[in-house]
Chain A
């Protein structure tokens, strides 16, 4: 009462189901698995998304995905450096 506001969880789930419906169906097996991995990451970070004032949900999902990719690249880079260190030694 007194406010009209769409539940964020509901909005997020709707957006994810739209992405799955319109993009996911055309993706190959590996890309589809990558999308599902992103979905898990988005859902686990729902509080981050809902706290972000950006009104465009798709933009927020994109930004979060980039952060996720960069963080995984960093992990791989570190592992690679460690392996190179072992190799050099």
Chain B
């Protein structure tokens, strides 16, 4: 039989661990849980006079980064007593160790000798974890939409397979119906528009009408089920959420609401707890005293090579796979190993331990990504994307003030090593006869006339060998365009459009992938690029006529308003409640609100340009839902089409840059 841990509940003096097995059954393991705080021996007199406690003992624990110290472990009756005690310690300015950590982590650390990861599948017989699964773990799911107005719920609708139903009425009836539905369907996971805090409020309102009822399992108000906001569910997916849980050692309910920095913090904390450390307080001065010159020289980001605008032939982009996590592991960069002058060699550095397993998982799933299809591909992507964010954050958070182990030198050393490597690659590439076109932190674009793909691959293999970091040819471009930046003769970073040897169009940062460009114009730019590359392939360097003909055709159809307006709709996400100026999507959101559509921050607003030159911003665009046919601003769209053309060939109409 196989099982996984999906929820932890802590209250009073108890901790409950909720498991599911592969047959769909749910079982709980309940343990006594007494929260504790560690206080240094010197502070014990002041600490003990502050409150009653359950028990205390003297313990000797490791302290980070090195050494041991004697502490008093003060055990409290329950979580309520714990928080009162902690508050009193803070008032008396006593440093409390292993204090600002979640109870769930403390309970889980005591629960098992091994590193038990929530949302990881374990084999009971082998007592081992199934390392690399692709599909998310089996959770029974229920999808709900709940409408709350003035703190009262009057309507909810739910989706079961293909059935949708809406229940409405007064609050008591609706809450009871909702409770009945949840009890009947018995889902493990409830995906809705509400977050956990809002569910808690609903549960309290339900208790007002029926004191014995709850939305959780086995009589608990919310325990035993996972309540997830639909926005997160659709953004990272269940497979992504599982990776979060494995990384943070927290169940989904808790991992879901954390920022990436906090997730790194949680992982570090749990690993320290399991390794028998007294976990230091979160407030950390995090300052290394040194000269301004040292800071100036060392505190820099990755290396960037700006591309020269133009059309290039035979280009390959070479990428390091997870460069920063690999630097952490390979060079042993960690909070305790970095000094101002060098990185100390030592046994397993702590940061390596933090990133090593997620790095292994990311590489595994990244390689699997190209070999799977359909649903499997979606799950693998969800896992790799989430692991990428977690790994990048492990590097970014290493110098953060809120990181309890934080040390800015860690962050700086990772950057220093990456810069050194990129400098080496730059000179190596030149020695190999390549020209460096563009570089961005961990990738480099090289070109060489008549070079075969194998030559680029050999170079990547050589770099991997001498740096010890895996590098590969990411894309081999037949042609690539680095456009000019608005009005200047140089190009921007992360902005190009190219075609690979296999005919795949790769677009980054230009109009064809911008959300404020309508589908029609995005497709127009892509088609234009295909035409340009096709003509170049035929060695027809005077492609200006062909492209201008294509542009004129589109421009005229736009100006004469012959294009289907639904393809000219612009979709932009509303990111703020108020804007300082009347930007088009804000105007469209206001138009919708005035017409009774509930638009909130995070919604995608659709609009169409109707009179872009009007002095009244409210007349420039029309929300798409309110557009009842009529005229749109063909000239504005024509100008946008010209911009798309200019990006592609503005610098040079006919020649390949040499």
Which A residues have a C-beta under 8 Å from some C-beta of B?
Answer: 1-3, 5, 8-9, 36, 39-40, 43-47, 50-51, 53, 55
Contacts and interface: CB of A to CB of B under 8 A. Distances in A.
Contacts of A53: 296-297
Contact of B308 (A8, A9, A44, A55): A44
Given A8-B300, A40-B490, A46-B304, A51 B419 contact: yes
Contacts of A45: 306
Nearest to B307: A44
Interface stretch (B156-164, B396-404, B590-598, B632-640): B396-404
Interface string B479-514: 000000000111001000000000000000000000
> What is the size category of the interface that chain B forms with chain A?
20 to 34
A41 to B, nearest CB: 9
A3 B490 contact: no
A72 B489 CA distance: 19
Interface string B382-413: 00000000000000010111110010100100
A78 B304 CA distance: 32
Contact of B299 (A3, A40, A51, A55): A3
A47 B439 contact: yes
Among A1, A8, A40, A55, which residue has the most Cβ atoms of chain B within 10 A? A1
30 contacts: A1-B261, A1-B397, A1-B400, A2-B399, A2-B403, A2-B406, A2-B408, A2-B411, A3-B299, A3-B408, A5-B301, A8-B300, A39-B489, A39-B490, A40-B488, A40-B489, A40-B490, A43-B490, A44-B306, A47-B303, A47-B304, A47-B305, A47-B306, A50-B300, A50-B303, A50-B304, A51-B419, A51-B423, A53-B297, A55-B296
Closest A-B pairs by Cβ, 10 of them:
A43-B490, A1-B400, A2-B399, A40-B489, A47-B305, A2-B401, A2-B400, A53-B297, A46-B306, A55-B296
B303 A51 contact: yes
B286 interface: yes
A36 B489 contact: yes
B401 A1 contact: yes
Contacts of A50: 300, 303-304
B406 to A, nearest CB: 6
A43 B401 contact: no
Contacts of B299: 3, 5
Given A2-B406, A46-B306, 14 more contacts: A2-B400, A2-B411, A3-B411, A5-B299, A8-B301, A40-B488, A43-B488, A43-B490, A44-B490, A46-B304, A47-B305, A47-B306, A53-B297, A55-B296
Nearest to A47: B305
Interface string B283-307: 0001000000100110111011110
Contacts of B300: 5, 8, 50
B186 to A, nearest CB: 43
A74 B400 CA distance: 49
Interface string B103-122: 00000000000000000000
B181 to A, nearest CB: 44
B487 to A, nearest CB: 11
Contacts of B297: 53
B532 to A, nearest CB: 23
Contacts of B296: 53, 55
Nearest to B286: A2
Contacts of A9: 304, 493
A9 to B, nearest CB: 8
A3 B407 CA distance: 11
B120 to A, nearest CB: 30
Contact of B399 (A3, A47, A55): A3
A40 to B, nearest CB: 5
Interface in B282-340: 286, 293, 296-297, 299-301, 303-306, 308
Contacts of A3: 299, 399, 408, 411
A5 B298 CA distance: 11
A55 B300 CA distance: 12
B466 to A, nearest CB: 20
